[in-house]
């Protein structure tokens, strides 16, 4: 059956104590809204509608970064979830199928849970869960196997508050039924808001069917406070680490490894302690990431080793069997097969040919204060320690640069380039200088007495 999504993202989140809308705070390197959208996208919906309100332009930009085709509508007044869905109904004109209503501040919902909601045969399906502490949650009132109604905690009787099956907030509704029932919602409740949950009782009064799909409490976590943001991050990381291990990744101290929302790690990869993955990292099978590395926007091929204490920035491309050692930073650079960059080096805006060795302290001087320039290094070259490569510059295949050189002009294939000042030796001068300095030190100490 065709599906459409309505994602509610209009709230300000005052308890976050932030100028940023709550749906734009990040979990695993992505706004919580992006997590909800990505989970919903697994259903391949015909339409995805995001309802904005507070800081609507910023929320819309974030939504379009995930899906350029997303439909964005505004809820100018925040009068409850039912009112928010009402703003989205015109965007569903002509759609026939299931409409899933999601919350933009719920980043941990699983695709499998959404599939269960979308695949339910009843006219309305509500997500339910049994929390450790159900005090503040709306209760799901069952009649036999069918859901009869939903009662908000503040409106519940004592007997209804004793029920432990609670409303997870998400809902799947037949599109035609949703369009019929939303205009009938009432705000005669303790909060004076239009609750979407009321559609269950309205549908049942018409003889329509309603059911419940359940999930773990963790999936329903909404991010309304900084503490909940940290809780969501911890839950995401625990899930990502477990999935990585199940997929054949070795981690000696998994609790110290942090993944982004889109990290891809191949099996038989080994990840040492204290490694952080930023967005857009792919590591192929059999690579090794050593301790205290930070990676983002990069691709690491089979058999490569990175670290310890290495930083790979966006655009770093490591081919097979590349070695990047300690205190090496690589940005927007391609390292071909077998390249070795041992330590204390910066390679930016560069292409290094296969099996080239980059000595310690090498820097590609890629920025002139206004523009970036590229460095090209051929295959099987040898770059001596402490070489400054002032871009734009090309080092030929098989070429060698002397240690301590400043290279400002292209170097042909198989050539040696030396770009340093001539050494000057003054016999006996060191002894004279030390004697002079020691005498000056003694004079100053005598003056202090």
Other C-beta atoms closer than 10 Å to the C-beta of 143 total 10
Other C-beta atoms closer than 10 Å to the C-beta of 169 total 23
* Element containing residue 212 per DSSP (H, E): strand 210-214
Q: Which two tokens stand for residue 233?
A: 């991050």
The one catalytic residue in 294, 343, 351, 355 is 343
- Give the 3-state secondary structure percentages of the chain, helix then strand then coil, rounded to 5: 25, 30, 45
Residue 199 C-beta-side C-alpha neighbours within 13 Å: 32
Residues 6+ apart with CB under 8 A from 434: none
What secondary structure does DSSP assign to 175-197, as a single string? Answer: HHHHHHHGGG----STT----TT
Nearest to 285 by CA among 339, 240, 248: 248
Is 343 an active-site residue? yes
Cα distance between the two ends of the chain:
94
* Element containing residue 290 per DSSP (H, E): none
Residues 6+ apart with CB under 8 A from 256: 273, 274, 275
Q: How many helices (H) and strands (E) does the chain have?
A: 9, 33
Distance CA 282, CA 263 (A): 6
Q: Which residues are catalytic?
A: 343
């Amino acid at each position: 059956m065709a599906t459409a999504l309505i994602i509610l993202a209009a709230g300000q989140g005052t308890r976050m104590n932030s100028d940023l809308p709550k749906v734009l705070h990040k979990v695993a390197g992505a706004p919580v809204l992006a997590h909800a959208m990505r989970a919903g996208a697994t259903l391949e919906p015909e339409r995805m509608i995001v309802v904005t309100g507070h800081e609507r332009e910023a929320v819309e930009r974030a939504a379009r970064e995930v899906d350029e085709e997303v439909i964005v509508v505004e809820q100018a007044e925040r009068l409850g979830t039912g009112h928010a869905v009402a703003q989205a109904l015109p965007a569903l004109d002509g759609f026939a199928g299931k409409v899933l209503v999601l919350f933009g501040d719920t980043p941990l919902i699983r695709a499998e849970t959404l599939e269960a909601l979308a695949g339910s045969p009843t006219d309305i399906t509500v997500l339910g869960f049994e929390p450790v502490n159900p005090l503040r949650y709306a209760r799901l009132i069952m009649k036999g196997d069918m859901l009869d109604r939903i009662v908000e905690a503040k409106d519940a009787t004592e007997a209804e508050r004793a029920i432990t099956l609670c409303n997870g907030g998400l809902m799947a509704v037949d599109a035609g039924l949703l369009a019929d029932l939303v205009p009938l919602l009432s705000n005669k409740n303790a909060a004076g808001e239009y609750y979407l949950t009321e559609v269950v009782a309205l549908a049942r009064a018409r003889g329509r069917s309603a059911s419940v799909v359940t999930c773990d409490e963790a999936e329903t976590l909404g991010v309304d406070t900084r503490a909940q943001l940290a809780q969501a991050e911890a839950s995401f990381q625990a899930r990502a680490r477990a999935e990585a291990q199940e997929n054949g990744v070795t981690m000696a101290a998994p609790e110290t490894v942090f993944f982004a929302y889109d990290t891809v790690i191949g099996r038989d990869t080994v990840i040492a302690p204290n490694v952080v993955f930023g967005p857009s990292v792919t590591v192929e099978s059999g690579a090794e990431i050593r301790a205290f590395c930070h990676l983002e926007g990069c691709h690491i091929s089979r058999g490569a080793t990175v670290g310890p204490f290495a930083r790979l920035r966006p655009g770093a491309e490591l081919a097979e069997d590349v070695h990047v050692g300690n205190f090496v930073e690589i940005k927007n650079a391609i390292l071909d097969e077998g390249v070795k960059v041992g330590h204390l080096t910066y390679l930016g805006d560069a292409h290094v040919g296969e099996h080239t060795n980059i000595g310690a302290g090498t820097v590609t001087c890629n920025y002139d204060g206004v523009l970036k320039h590229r460095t090209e290094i051929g295959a099987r070259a040898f770059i001596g320690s402490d070489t400054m490569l002032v871009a734009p510059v090309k080092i030929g295949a098989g070429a060698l640069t002397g240690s301590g050189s400043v290279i400002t002009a292209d170097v042909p294939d198989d050539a040696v380039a030396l770009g340093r000042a001539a050494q000057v030796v003054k016999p006996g001068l060191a002894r004279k200088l030390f004697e002079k300095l020691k005498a000056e030190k003694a004079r100053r100490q005598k003056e202090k007495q």
